[in-house]
Amino acid sequence: MIMTDIATLTAHAAERLEAESPKRREVIEGARRVFFDKGFDGASMDEVAKAAGVSKATIYAHFASKDELFEALVLSERDRSAERLFAVDPAVDDIAGVLQHIGMSFMTMMVRPDNIRLVRMVVGVAEKFPRIGHSFFEAGPCHGGRRMADLLRGEEARGRLDLNGEDSVEVAHLFLNMCHGNFVKAMMFTGAEPPTAEAIATAVERAVRVFLAAYGAKVG
């Protein structure tokens, strides 16, 4: 039986949410609506104040600038994703099923239109505000890789995987990147529609087969 310690996996997100005041969360939620509608350059603090139902003075009491507010939004969005991404259904008791579940959860999140908009905004501001790019990279891909690596090491300890002595974080990124297929790039660069659940499932199944061919525990 898979026993995933969800409290451990989401501790970072829970601590940040606990530290946020209700008013600060209101500001971030208002910023989310404005940034996702207008983009970073098109958003104004006046519009955020209106969307959040607060004064500009309240916003500046929590955030010194628009880029600092956007960085907080980026971290908030990553925390929301982390809370549900690596929660494994305890009823799934085979390694292929565990990986399939994670891959589906990961790709369903990755191809959400709001996620694509967020990634585009981060790419657009990263040159001017490299701190935002670093925050996104650390809170998103790096954090996800570490969480996946924790799970893979646990499965290796159960005798269901053999990582061959390789860096577990690198192996985790390999699996997640294989799940991507070409879906995210197509949406990012061409405005393609999100893939169907069936298309995602097929891509993830392929990633699971290849991954287990390399890292599945050898019997006999």
As a whole-number percent, the residues of the chain with pLDDT over 90 amount to: 70
Return residue ranges of the chain for CATH 1.10.10.60: 7-83
Question: Residue 198 burial (CB < 10 Å; 0-12/13-18/19+)?
Answer: exposed
Specify the CATH class of 86-220 in words: mainly alpha
Instruction: Give 23-32 pLDDT, tens digit per residue.
Output: 899 999 999 9
CATH code: domain 7-83 is 1.10.10.60
Single out the residue of 100, 88, 62, 98 nearest to residue 179, CA to CA.
100
Distances (CA, A) of 169 to 7, 53, 103, 150, 193: 20, 42, 16, 8, 31
* pLDDT of res. 220: 55
The tokens for 80 are 């929301």
As a whole-number percent, the residues of the chain with pLDDT over 70 amount to: 84
Reduced DSSP (H G I as helix, E B as strand, rest coil) percent helix, strand, coil of the chain, to 5: 75, 0, 25
Return residue ranges of the chain for CATH 1.10.357.10: 86-220
The tokens for 161 are 């995987």
Question: Residue 117 burial (CB < 10 Å; 0-12/13-18/19+)?
Answer: middle
The tokens for 78 are 């990553």
Q: Is the pLDDT of residue 196 over 90?
A: yes
pLDDT confidence band for 219 (50 / 70 / 90): low
* pLDDT of res. 200: 97
